[in-house]
Each structure stands twice: as C-alpha cells, then as structure tokens.
Amino acid sequence: MLDRVDRILIASHDASATARRWQQLLDAQIVRENSVPAFNSKRVVIHLGDSEIEIHEPLGEGPIAEHLHNGSGPFAAGFATPDIAGLTSHFKALGITPLAIGEDQFYLDSAALGIPGLRVVVSPLRQLASVGLIDTLYECTHLTADAPRDTAEIARVFNLDPDQFVEIGSDTYGYKGTLTLFDNTRLHRVETIDPYDRTKTMGRYFDRFGSSLYMCYAEAPDLVPIQARLKDLAPSAWTGSDEDLDGLFIHPRATGSIMMGISRATHAWTWSGFPQRVVPVKS
C-alpha cells in the first residue's frame, strides 16, 4: 500500500533559517508555510528532488517542542500511498487510529504503530518535478534493539510483502537489519537496523537516544556540484572525497538536525540486493 518515501519531517528552533540552509546547500525551493495545530508547530515545506522536507518549529508545548527538548534528530518519516482510503481501512482493521494533520494527510506515532522510535506521516501520492541537486529521497533509517521484530511490524502495519525485503549489515558501521523495500524494483524503503557495535557512531547515537530515526538517504545524478557546494558552505560538516563520486554524507550541523546520505543514481543497489542494476560511471 506504500509507494515511496516522499518526505522527511525535522524539528527546528527556527524553521525559516533551516529552510534557507537547504536552499543554499542543495538548491531546494520553499513552497509553502502554514501551521499544524496537531503538532502546535509552524511548518515550512521545501521541495527538493521530487520529494519534500517539512521543517517544524514549535509554537508552544507539543510533540515538536518535546522532540527538540530531547535533543534528538529527525522527527518523522513520510510515506506516500496511491490509496489513502484503503490504507486507512487497513489501519482500522488493525485497531490503529491515525491522527489527521491536514487534508488527506495523517500521522502515526510510535505508540500507534507499536514500533519504538518510528513516527510516520502518510500523504497521498503526488508526482512532483525534480528540483535542486538531488533526484529523490528513498530511505529513512530506523535504529532499534530488535530489528527482526520491528521489521515484521512494519510489514504488518503497512501491509508490505516481506518477500520484497533485503537483509543488510555492515561490520564497518556496526549494524544489521533489513531494508523493507516497498517494491523491490525501486529503492524506497525503511532501513530498520540494530546498531550492535556501541563504539561506532550509530551505536553511540543509539545509546544516547534509544530507538529512533537516525538519518535519510537520497539519490543524485552527479555528486560533483554537491561536493563543491559543501566545500564552500560546510567544509567541516560532510564526509566524502573527490575520489569517491558514488556517495557522501551531509552532517546534521549543516542541514539542521538530520544526517543525509546521498548516493549516485543506481549506486545504492550495490547494497540493496540487486548489484547488477548499478549503472557504472561513464569514463
């Protein structure tokens, strides 16, 4: 019932300033501003690639203010479905009641989902033209102490087919878990992983915040202009090299509360179960 990862929600003390940072770094466009009473927040929405990033600034007490008080990273992942009514009926059959936060958009916190550390906003599927230096968002990373259990719950709650999923692990980064591919012909998924090595960055983050969203991933046609922008505007807030044109990481202090990995178009299939789909860089 899910088609794609279509947005990430982040919390900020100054949504307008954070939005301007995304404009400077990746040529995002600010498309609308409004308030979200359910979150007691001001929302600035930016268009980046064919996706959106919602930046929420607290107007008072509420889930955004609480999230910022805890000092953690991304607030929620956003998924798009072509069948809002069908998905809502599925939730009802499971005894799950989403919170409406706008026209045809609803929110499920970790208690509603039964998945510690995961918050989700579901929106109707819309086709957006690509804007800026990336093509699309395709992943959010969810840290958990029990990846098998939470993977099964994601499949159950969102009516996904586990046969589409791909196991993943890395000794380098110290994690193991599953890519819950919505459709294994495309990259869109939740990466639900156990950061078992607590000496690594993910493990230290988990020790501090527990089960939580950690980062997001995007695809770009060319990393060279992104590297140039980062060297100029955030020289100490990214990881990558001139020799590696397949991937890089933008650190939270550059974006405002979220780590973003960016991979060259198709390269993520290297670790996503279908390495034969990777298109080599033309020499």
Domains parsed from the chain with CATH numbers: 4-275 (3.10.180.10)
d(CA 97, CA 78): 17
Q: Which residues pair with 99 in a beta bridge?
A: 107
Q: What is the pLDDT of residue 147?
A: 98
Tens of pLDDT, residue by residue over 241-282, are 999 999 999 999 999 889 999 999 999 999 999 999 999 987
Q: What is the pLDDT of residue 283?
A: 62
d(CA 117, CA 140): 12
Beta strands in 25-118 (DSSP E): 29-36, 41-48, 51-58, 76-81, 99-102, 105-108
d(CA 152, CA 261): 25
Tens of pLDDT, residue by residue over 163-222, are 999 999 999 999 999 999 999 999 999 999 999 999 999 999 999 999 999 999 999 999
Q: What is the pLDDT of residue 70?
A: 85
Residue 115's nearest CA partner among 78, 85, 143 is: 143
Q: What is the pLDDT of residue 71?
A: 77
Tens of pLDDT, residue by residue over 24-57, are 999 999 999 999 999 999 999 999 999 999 999 9
The DSSP bridge pattern shows strands 259-264 and 244-250 to be antiparallel
Q: What is the pLDDT of residue 176?
A: 98
Q: What is the pLDDT of residue 104?
A: 86
Tens of pLDDT, residue by residue over 141-165, are 999 999 999 999 999 999 999 999 9
DSSP state of 280: P
Tens of pLDDT, residue by residue over 103-116, are 789 999 999 999 99
DSSP string covering 199-222, please?
TSHHHHHHHHH-SEEEEEEEEES-
d(CA 204, CA 124): 36
Q: Which residues of 175-192 are buried (b: 16+ CB within 10 A; e: fewer)?
A: bbbbbbbbebeebbbbbb
d(CA 195, CA 209): 12
* 182 touches 162 (CB < 8 A): no
Q: Indicate if the alpha-carbon torsion angle 32, 75, 168, 239 is positive or negative.
A: positive
Q: Which residues contact 189 (CB under 8 A, 6 or more apart)?
A: 5, 138, 139, 179, 180, 181, 182, 272
pLDDT bucket at 102, cuts 50 / 70 / 90: confident
Inform me whether the pLDDT recorded for 229 exceeds 80: yes
